[in-house]
């Protein structure tokens, strides 16, 4: 019962923030709505027993990445975006996409309950220690590859954002 | 105690809103943020399935997705700054040439 109430509250905040993100015309408003979505997603992660993922969601996503976005928006002085007369791609791809989306949602809802059981709070709790053991034993190679990727990304960002010599 | 499908439907709704804003928005920074929204929706389904099958690896994948998203945001915003420096615009309709 408690789980249902909490899920409905945070899912409602999530969807409302995402819709606000879609409907706002100023990039700063969109960025702030996206921070709301990320914060309530972190609480949903906590309810699913993923405490480390929830903490990283708040620190890295809602903290670092969104601060970077807001910083770039202010640096480039981005104003209200120009209205365009609606691209044809949005109509051509959007209508079949919407139909497929609702079909898939109906299919998930009507799936037999034996495949998709209920989940509840405290049913599956992952301590950070278990996550670290899995990360550094089974997933050691992907972890190292990711560190190389981050290094390349840092160098690429520095090279791209550097001011050209006249 | 709620069905797992509720989490999956929430993830699907968030992903669909992300796709819609990717197609509708004209500002290049907002388009980038809608990519982040889609990645977040996928993270939610990863964590939900990890809780469903009692597997830690689902959460490790979320960790990798976050790292890749952070790297992508850094490089992408650097590209946006480089584009703005040469073209003085953020509207994707006016950025239609690969060279100057």
- For residue A148, the distance in angstroms to the closest alpha carbon of chain B comes to 11
Using alpha carbons, list the distances in angstroms from residue A123 to A44, A61, B9: 14, 26, 21
Quote the domain boundaries for residue A42: 2-79+87-126
* Region A7-12 average pLDDT: 93
In order of start, what are the domains of chain B with their CATH numbers? 4-94 (1.10.287.3510)
Across the A:B interface, residue pairs with CB atoms under 8 Å apart total 221
pLDDT at A166: 58
| Residue A57 confidence (pLDDT) | 93
CATH of the domain at A65: 1.20.120.1200
Confidence band of B90 (pLDDT split at 50, 70, 90): confident
Do A106 and A160 share a structural domain? Answer: no
A146 and A162 co-located in one domain? yes
Handedness of CA A96, A99, A103, A109 (dihedral sign): positive
Task: Please enumerate in sequence order all residues whose Cβ is within 8 A of that of A63, keeping only pairs 6 or more positions apart, or say none.
Answer: none
Is the pLDDT assigned to residue A118 strictly greater than 80? no
The answer to whether residues A17 and A99 belong to one domain is yes
**Which residue, among A27, A147, A108, A159, has the nearest Cα to B90 in the 3D structure?**
A27
pLDDT higher at A123 or A130? A130
Residues A148 and A117 in one domain: no
Whose tokens are 């939900």? That residue is: B48
pLDDT for the residue B47: 93
Same domain? A114 vs A163 = no
Model confidence at A114: pLDDT above 60: no
Supply the DSSP symbol for A62.
Answer: I
Number of domains in chain A: 2
Place B94 in a pLDDT band, splitting at 50, 70 and 90.
confident
Instruction: Specify whether A45 is located in the same domain as A74.
Output: yes
Q: Mean per-residue pLDDT for B76-82?
A: 90
| A48, two tokens | 């699913």
Q: Are residues A157 and A109 in the same domain?
A: no
Q: Do the Cβ atoms of B69 and A65 come within 8 Å?
A: yes
Q: Does A12 touch chain B (CB under 8 A)?
A: no
Tokens of residue A132, six digits: 């670290």
Question: Does any CB of chain B come closer than 8 Å to the CB of residue A28?
Answer: no
Q: pLDDT tens digits, residue range A77-102?
A: 877 776 666 667 767 877 888 888 88
Helix (H, G, I), strand (E, B) or coil at B2: strand
Whole-angstrom distance, CA of residue A134 vs CA of residue A140? 9
**What was the pLDDT predicted at A139?**
92
Same domain, A67 and A112: yes
pTM of structure: 0.88
Range among A56-60, B23-27, B48-52, B53-57 rated most confident: A56-60
The 3-state secondary structure of A88-142 reads HHHHHHHHHHHHHHHHHHHHHHCCCCCCCCEECCCCCCECHHHHHHHHHHCCHHH
pLDDT band at A112 (very low <50, low <70, confident <90, very high): low
Same domain membership, residue A135 and residue A110: no
Read off the pLDDT of residues A28-55 as tens digits, 9 standing for 90 and up.
999 999 999 999 999 999 988 889 999 9
| Of the candidates B54, B46, B55, B68, the residue with the CA atom closest to the CA atom of residue A142 | B68
Tell whether B10 is within 8 A of chain A (Cβ).
yes
**In the predicted structure, residue B35 carries a pLDDT above the cut 80:** yes
The ipTM is 0.91
Split at pLDDT 50, 70, 90, the class of B52 is confident
Residue A151 sits at the chain B interface (C-beta within 8 Å):
no
What does the alpha-carbon distance between residue B76 and residue B78 come to, in Å, rounded to a whole number?
Answer: 5
Query: Distance from first CA to last CA of chain A, Å, rounded?
Result: 66
- Residues A51 and A94 reside in one and the same domain: yes
Query: In DSSP terms, which residues pair with A118 in a beta bridge?
Result: B3
Label residue A9 by pLDDT band (50, 70, 90): very high
Residue A89 is predicted with a pLDDT of: 73
State the DSSP code for A163: P
C-alpha B41/C-alpha B15 separation (Å) is: 5
Q: Percent of chain A, pLDDT > 70?
A: 87
A57 and A96 belong to one structural domain = yes
| Chain A contacts in chain B segment 28-87 (CB below 8 A) | 29-30, 32-34, 36-37, 40, 43-44, 47-48, 50-52, 54, 56-57, 59-60, 62-64, 66-75, 77-82, 84-85
pLDDT at position B61, please? 93
Q: Answer with the residue of higher pLDDT: A69 or B98.
A: A69
> Cα-Cα-Cα-Cα dihedral of A83, A86, A90, A96, to 10°?
140
Residue B77: name the closest of A83, A21, A64, A146 by CA: A64
**Domain check: are A68 and A52 in the same one?**
yes
Residue B81 confidence (pLDDT) above 60: yes
Distance between CA atoms of residues B11 and B41, nearest Å? 5
């Amino acid at each position: 019962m408690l789980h249902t109430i909490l899920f409905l509250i945070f899912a409602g905040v999530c969807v409302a923030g995402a819709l606000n993100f879609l409907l706002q015309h100023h990039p700063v408003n969109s960025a702030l709505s996206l921070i709301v979505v990320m914060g309530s997603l972190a609480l949903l992660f906590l309810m699913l027993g993923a405490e480390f993922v929830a903490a990283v969601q708040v620190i890295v996503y809602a903290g670092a990445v969104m601060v970077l976005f807001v910083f770039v928006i202010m640096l480039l002085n981005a104003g209200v975006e120009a209205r365009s007369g609606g691209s044809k791609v949005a109509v051509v791809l959007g209508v079949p996409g919407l139909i497929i989306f609702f079909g898939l949602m109906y299919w998930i809802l009507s799936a037999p309950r034996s495949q998709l059981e209920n989940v509840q709070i405290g049913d599956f709790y992952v301590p950070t220690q278990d996550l670290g053991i899995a990360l550094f034993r089974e997933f050691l190679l992907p972890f190292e590859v990711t560190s190389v990727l981050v290094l390349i990304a840092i160098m690429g960002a520095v090279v791209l954002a550097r001011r050209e010599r006249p | 105690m709620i069905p797992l499908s509720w989490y999956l439907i929430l993830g699907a709704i968030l992903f669909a809103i992300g796709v819609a804003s990717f197609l509708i928005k004209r500002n290049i920074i907002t388009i980038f943020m809608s990519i982040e929204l889609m990645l977040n929706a996928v993270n939610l389904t990863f964590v939900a399935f990890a809780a469903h099958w009692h597997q830690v690896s689902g959460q490790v994948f979320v960790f990798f997705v976050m790292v890749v998203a952070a790297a992508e945001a850094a490089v992408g915003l650097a590209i946006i700054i480089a584009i703005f420096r040469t073209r003085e615009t953020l509207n994707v309709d006016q950025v239609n040439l690969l060279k100057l």
